[in-house]
Amino acid sequence: RGVMELVLFHIVTAGLMYCLVRCILTHPGAIPDAQGWEIQPESQDTGEVAARQLLETKHTGERRHCKWCLKYKPDRCHHCRICNLCVLRMDHHCPWVYNCIGFRNHKYFFLLLVYAAADLVIVSLTMFDTVWWSTRIDVPLALMTTLVVGEAFVAFLTVVTMTFLGFHVWLMAKAMTTVEFCEKSLKSSSYNSSAYSAGIYRNLCAVLGPNPWL
């Protein structure tokens, strides 16, 4: 039994480390430098024509643009002041990976939460037996206290991580990002409507792709 638990723990941990590295090193996605995205002089500006194909525009009907990057913004694109970059389908800036979570690395961030939650559940369950027996047999008080505190800490992290994971599953099912969630909460609008929703299955595939585990 111990060998099986050890193998399972290391398999999940390997997936966690892989997704952590990919989440840190993968560029979140930015507005291309190609012609048509950079702000043009008024004489050459085709913003109003292009804006008709976008869902997100200014209140005047013109294309959104970034005053720092000096580029037009596609739908769901937001500027991160920490990265100094306009990120495609920006979800949020994550200080734990020191990177923005966007179009290209959102999948690795989500899988990082999945593997982290799985690892914590494994640790919590396998450690519980040890904690249980430490209260039933003669062991040093310091050791028993350490085990109990450790189990309580792991249980706390499990609840926090599972809650955070559940929140992101809900966002994916609704075809929303964290940025859009905050914008909707400020506007007090309904969370049941999203202009980008294509059904739960397609919404999940839009982030996870055809191979959801790696």
Q: Which residues participate in catalysis according to the annotation?
A: 94
Rounded Cα–Cα distance for residues 32 and 73 (Å): 10
Rounded Cα–Cα distance for residues 203 and 211 (Å): 14
Orientation of helix 2-25 relative to helix 106-134, angle to 10°: 150
Would you call 136 exposed, middle or buried from its count of C-beta atoms within 10 A (0-12, 13-18, 19+)?
exposed
Rounded Cα–Cα distance for residues 136 and 66 (Å): 64
* Beta strand residue intervals within 50-162, DSSP E: 65-66, 71-72, 78-80, 85-87, 92-94, 99-101
